[in-house]
Amino acid sequence: MSNAPLMPMATAVWLVENTTLTFKQIADFCNLHEVEVQGIADCELQVGTKVFAAYRKKNISERHRHRYEVNNRYRKKLENNGLIFSGLNMELGVIETVEIQDHPWFVAGQFHP
């Protein structure tokens, strides 16, 4: 039987937010790679969006999984054409989730919930 927590990523998120343990210590405890723990990112969700409805809270922490990001230089133009930036990492200025305004279910994210 493994000594790793039943929900390693959720445990890692809690440990990052609530302890002074290093990423390496958390990774070792949760049986994760250190890079997986370092990628945990805070995201502030816009109230009234599909993503907010799914999570039912304004602030979440998920593992940012990509090295590709929305170029903020095009943000206004994309917003003016119906794209909603529904989740942001305020600390880094990184767009984490987007939605299409008039589409019944289109949501995309930079993380795996």
Domain ranges of the chain: 1-38, 46-58+65-113
Q: SS3 for 45? A: strand
E strand map for 11-109: 40-45, 59-63, 83-89, 94-100, 107-109
Residue 92 clears pLDDT 80, i.e. is over it? no
Digit-coded pLDDT (tens) for 28-71: 999 988 878 877 778 999 999 999 999 999 999 887 766 678 88
CA angle (65 as vertex; 60, 70 as ends), nearest 5: 85
Beta bridge partners of 40: 63
Confirm whether pTM is higher than 0.85: no
Is 44:88 a contact under the CB 8 Å cutoff?
Answer: yes
